[in-house]
Amino acid sequence: MLAAADDRRPTTSRDAMAELIGAYWFPLYAFLRRAGSAPQEAEDLVQGFFAELMDKRALAAVDPSKGRFRSFLLAALKHFVSKRRARGRALKRGGGRVLLSLDALDAEARYAIEPADTLTPERLFERQWALAVLQQVLARLRAAYAADGKAALYEALEPCLTAGAIDYAEAAAALDMSPAAVRTAAHRLRRRYRDGLTAEIARTVQSPGEVADEIAYLLNCL
């Protein structure tokens, strides 16, 4: 978040903003859809919102000591939408430029599988935020294993993070490892996943003392 707001390092800022948008545009899109926006309007609003964050440096005004980033992001979107609608102006994506290619068909397919009318827009946002955080952690883990030449090991063991269990004998045969070695590798992967999640959450809260509560809240949102 802070890297995205740093004007002193434009390349780093651009990359951080791209990561921010790529990770969290869908929770905002889902919020808007559940709040009543049509697909095209929701897509346009998300584009315009992130454009304003970049153009007006709204992120630079974010104080990490004053709350969770998820709360800031949703409150900022609500303010943006309220302001746009109050002005009664036609929306133009990203002020005339597209910041990210949002696949509307993919977005609608993802939105369509959400429980219909059982979650408020805010709760749906939080659920999608939680999923986005977990996907970020998994993506970083996958990249780290690939960089170490262990992509096949990660792919074989990832179900122990996402599905809860794996067949150790089957994984051992596929990886040409002993079942005991696979169990050890899976234990290490789970530990790295927990560490990665802790580090990711720590970047979005005020103090280290809030991390455990925020993780518990995130898991409760799923």
Mean pLDDT across the stretch 145-153? Answer: 96
Q: Which residues of 99-118 are buried (b: 16+ CB within 10 A; e: fewer)?
A: beebeeeebeeebeeeeeee
Tokens coding 7: 């004007």
Which pLDDT belongs to residue 100?
53
Write out pLDDT tens, residues 98-114: 445 555 557 788 788 77
Write out pLDDT tens, residues 117-137: 678 999 999 999 999 999 999
Across 4-18, 80-94, 158-172, the highest mean pLDDT is recorded for 158-172
Mean pLDDT across the stretch 130-158? Answer: 95
Which pLDDT belongs to residue 132?
92
Q: Examine the pLDDT at 13 and tell me if it is beyond 70.
A: no
Q: What is the CA radius of gyration of the chain?
A: 20
